[in-house]
Copies of this chain bind each other. A is one copy, B any other.
């Protein structure tokens, strides 16, 4: 019980940043003396610190501020996207303290290479950490379907992975005695946007993540939709164009990913110059914004399919907010008219009136921050066990 309450307090400070004891007491529904007892324990464990109030002008007794020990307590967070590997030290409270990024060459998409590269980045980060700082967990987000519990990649079509023991291998390669918690990149993005980004306050949220493919994370009643095995939310493989749709890497045809992903955009724009990846996508989007006809037509085409997909999701989930992340963040900024038009045409009025459309608030860090939160989960479940 005490452990649960300590964790709840730490979670408040982790997600919301500095909070006064009074604010914590109100949010947790307990009195100030309980808060004092809890913060003392967390402070003694080096997880939070307290500062005298700066604002003493208000009515009533000024209340001490409780802050996360962001420099001292951190996790390693990894983000495996189709065209880049990111590793970071992320502090309690969410700040990115240090960061390494490397493009993932097409030559090295096998498990050993990816794990080796990530472990090397992780070791650099650990070596660069200041004395006294403590790594309390490891989280990773991956662009594929992840088995809950052990971080097995069941299916990652962009990298050709089927049943690869990614979590276990990364844990072994890092060898620092901490487990690696792995989640799907778009699931992680959804949770991060709900906690700190464009979806705060919403219990029913859809996060769409454009990498090379398209992933989705859906919160229903405040919880990530897992389904029976944890493999739900495969928004990118919703078929929207079954009759003459583009072939999809998954073997199907006309999937939302096939119609709105990077390849579809570049091909529609006639960019056969071999450039791929995020820079190539941004170039098309920028050209469209500048009025280039071919780029504009390509973005409009992708926006049209994206709008059909979003309309379907609005009908199915009646969300409060739909968030565009990753490459779709760039695309949506130019394709907004097509998306809006399709939603108007295909989504039920009572549901569409309620759905706000938003750009990712954490931008390219959404999936990384989600992975970091996964790494912090064990500490927050039981704050006095680790650290």
Contact A227 B311, beta carbon cutoff 8 Å: no
Chain B CB within 8 A of A95 CB: no
Q: Are B312 and A229 in contact (CB under 8 A)?
A: no
Report chain B residues within 8 Å CB of A233: 316
Nearest CB on B from A342, distance (A):
8
For the complex, give the distance between the alpha carbons of A237 and B314 in Å. Answer: 10
Pairs across A and B, CB under 8 Å, 17 listed? A145-B348, A155-B349, A204-B227, A227-B318, A228-B319, A229-B354, A230-B318, A231-B348, A232-B351, A234-B318, A234-B348, A235-B316, A237-B348, A238-B315, A240-B240, A241-B243, A242-B308
Task: Identify which of residues 243-295 in chain A touch chain B, using a CB-to-CB cut-off of 8 Å.
Answer: 243-244, 250-253, 255
Indicate the member of A316, A317, A355 with the most B CB atoms within 10 Å: A316
Interface residues of A (CB under 8 A from B): 145, 154-155, 202-204, 218, 220-221, 223, 225-235, 237-244, 250-253, 255, 308, 311-312, 315-320, 345-351, 354-355
Q: Which residue of B lies closest to A321 (CB)?
A: B228
Q: Once the chains bind, are A155 and B350 in contact (CB under 8 Å)?
A: yes
A347 to chain B: which residues have CB within 8 Å? 237
Task: Please report the C-alpha to C-alpha distance between residue A333 and residue B1 in the assembled complex, in whole angstroms.
Answer: 52
What is the bound-complex CA distance between A230 and B319, given in angstroms? Answer: 10
A102 to B348, CA, bound (A): 30
CB <8 Å contact, A239 and B155: no
Which residue of B145, B223, B312, B320 contacts A239 across the interface (Cβ within 8 Å)? B312
Q: How far does the alpha carbon of A204 sit from the alpha carbon of B221 in the complex, in Å? A: 14
Whether B346 and A239, one on each chain, are in contact in the complex, defined by CB atoms closer than 8 angstroms, is yes
When the two chains form the complex, which single residue of B229, B240, B317, B345 contacts A225, counting CB atoms closer than 8 Å?
A: B317
Q: Which residues of B contact A251 (CB under 8 A)?
A: 345
**A265 → B minimal CB distance (Å):** 19
Interface pair A346/B237, CB less than 8 Å apart = yes
- Tell me which residues across on chain B come within 8 A of A242, comparing CB atoms: 240-241, 308, 346
CB <8 Å contact, B229 and A351: yes
Please indicate the chain B residues that have their CB under 8 angstroms from the CB of A355 in the complex: 228
Partner of A237, one of B223, B243, B315: B315
Cα A154 to Cα B353 in complex, Å, equals 13
Instruction: Name the CB-closest residue of B to A237.
Output: B315
> B231 to A318, Cβ gap below 8 A?
yes
Of A218, A232, A244, A311, chain B has the most CB atoms within 10 Å of the CB of A232
A255 neighbours in B (Cβ, 8 Å): 346
> Contacts A235-B315, A239-B240, A251-B345 given; 13 further ones with Cβ under 8 A?
A145-B350, A203-B228, A220-B227, A229-B350, A229-B354, A231-B354, A232-B318, A234-B316, A238-B312, A238-B315, A238-B316, A241-B243, A255-B346
